[in-house]
Amino acid sequence: MANPNESKSVATLIGGGRMGIAMAKGWLSNLEAAGLSRVNIVDPTPSEDLSQLCLTEAAELNPENSSAADVVILAIKPQVFSKVAADVVKWVGPETLVISVMAGITLERLANETGARKVVRTMPNTPGAVGAGVTAYSVSEHCDEADNAKVHALLASLGTVEGPLDESLMDAVTVVSGCGPAYTFLLVEAMAAGGVALGLEEGMAQRLARQTVIGSSVLMDQDPTSAEDLRKAVTSPNGVTLAALEVMMAEGGIPDVTKKALETARDRSIELSKGS
């Protein structure tokens, strides 16, 4: 794969939301790793955090002069894409790489509305805001190995990067990792509520459930053992954990409900990508 640092790029980030700020922070903390010489950020109503971030010489907020950028990153809500697209065109040249961090916006629509040949569709998740996320991406046919290397370098500020993938898999990615943090948070809610029902004080129940999930995640990150084997290692024959898991894994339990939930979410993702 080509080295993204062989030539430094100028990136124009459109949108200063949480994910956009996370990306910009990562790039500005190590411009060389991101393959960038500077970062321009466009946000008509910048937050205090974004304004502070742009005090460095390597960043400029809402630059007056607009010209074709090497890379344009769209970190905006998909609902406003059509309104913003007309302005995005002025930063797009024949070789500009346009990277979307918007859910449901297809490569075809990105190309049609921005006028770019080289377009990238990504699906990050919210842990990316603390550099612990996972982002999958797919690219248009006009992107080459150097473009893929550039995408990897830019998305690495959010955490792990997977891709390039066939675009047909992006809806599955969306419902597994894109939506996945919500499922994890729901598990913490349910565990804490169950603890309260069994007599624990609410604050303690919340702390126990929250730290258990955090600790389990750290263990899974540091231990290459599969999630299934890690689960089995905690489960003693005829023990307390097994009693709980027999309920959770019974017909209609967590595996079945999760499969149905992901299929339903996948169908909704497809509808949204079509503008439904």
What secondary structure, in 3-state letters, does the chain show? CCCCCCCCEEEEEECCCHHHHHHHHHHHHCHHHHCEEEEEEECCCCCHHHHHHCCCCCEEECCCCCCCCCEEEECCCHHHHHHHHHHHHHHCCCCCEEEECCCCCCHHHHHHHHCCCEEEEEECCHHHHHCCEEEEEEECCCCCHHHHHHHHHHHHHHEEEECCCCHHHHHHHHHHHHCHHHHHHHHHHHHHHHHHHCCCCHHHHHHHHHHHHHHHHHHHHHCCCCHHHHHHHHCCCCCHHHHHHHHHCCCCCHHHHHHHHHHHHHHHHHHHHCCC
Q: What is the pLDDT of residue 14?
A: 94
Evaluate whether residue 3 is within a structural domain: no
pTM, two decimals, is: 0.89
Domain CATH for 84: 3.40.50.720
72 and 187 fall within a common domain: no
Other Cβ atoms less than 10 A from the Cβ of 98: the count is 27
Q: CA 22 → CA 14, 98, 103, distances in Å?
A: 13, 18, 17
Q: What is the pLDDT of residue 275?
A: 65
Torsion sign (Cα): 150, 100, 29, 130: negative
CA 245 from centroid of its chain's CA atoms: 31
161 and 209 fall within a common domain: no
159 and 200 fall within a common domain: no
Q: State the Cα–Cα distance between residues 34 and 41, nearest whole angstrom.
A: 16
Sequence-separated (6 or more) residues with CB below 8 Å from residue 26: 34, 131, 156, 157, 158
Per-residue pLDDT of the chain (276 residues; tens, 9 = 90+): 444 445 679 999 999 888 999 999 999 999 999 999 999 999 999 999 999 999 989 999 998 877 889 999 999 998 899 899 988 999 999 999 999 999 889 999 999 999 999 999 999 999 999 999 999 999 999 999 999 999 999 999 999 999 999 999 999 999 999 999 999 999 999 999 999 999 999 999 999 999 999 999 999 999 999 999 999 999 999 999 999 999 999 999 999 999 999 999 999 988 877 765
Sequence-separated (6 or more) residues with CB below 8 Å from residue 108: none
Evaluate whether residue 195 is within a structural domain: yes
157 and 53 fall within a common domain: yes
- Give bridge partners of residue 159 from the DSSP assignment: 133
Q: What is the pLDDT of residue 7?
A: 61
140 and 192 fall within a common domain: no
163 and 48 fall within a common domain: yes
Q: What is the pLDDT of residue 273?
A: 76
Q: Which domain does 198 fall in, by range?
A: 178-273
Direct distance between the N- and C-terminal alpha carbons of the chain, in angstroms, rounded to an integer: 38
Domain CATH for 193: 1.10.3730.10
217 and 157 fall within a common domain: no
152 and 134 fall within a common domain: yes
185 and 219 fall within a common domain: yes
Torsion sign (Cα): 56, 57, 60, 63: positive
Q: CA 68 → CA 10, 47, 196, 224, distances in Å?
A: 9, 25, 57, 44
- Give bridge partners of residue 137 from the DSSP assignment: 122
Q: What is the pLDDT of residue 64?
A: 84
Number of domains in the chain: 2
Q: What is the pLDDT of residues 144-164, one digit of tens each?
A: 999 999 999 999 999 999 999
Evaluate whether residue 58 is within a structural domain: yes
Evaluate whether residue 193 is within a structural domain: yes
67 and 188 fall within a common domain: no
Evaluate whether residue 52 is within a structural domain: yes
Evaluate whether residue 253 is within a structural domain: yes
126 and 28 fall within a common domain: yes
Evaluate whether residue 4 is within a structural domain: no
**Single residue among 169, 195, 216 that ends a domain in this structure:** 169
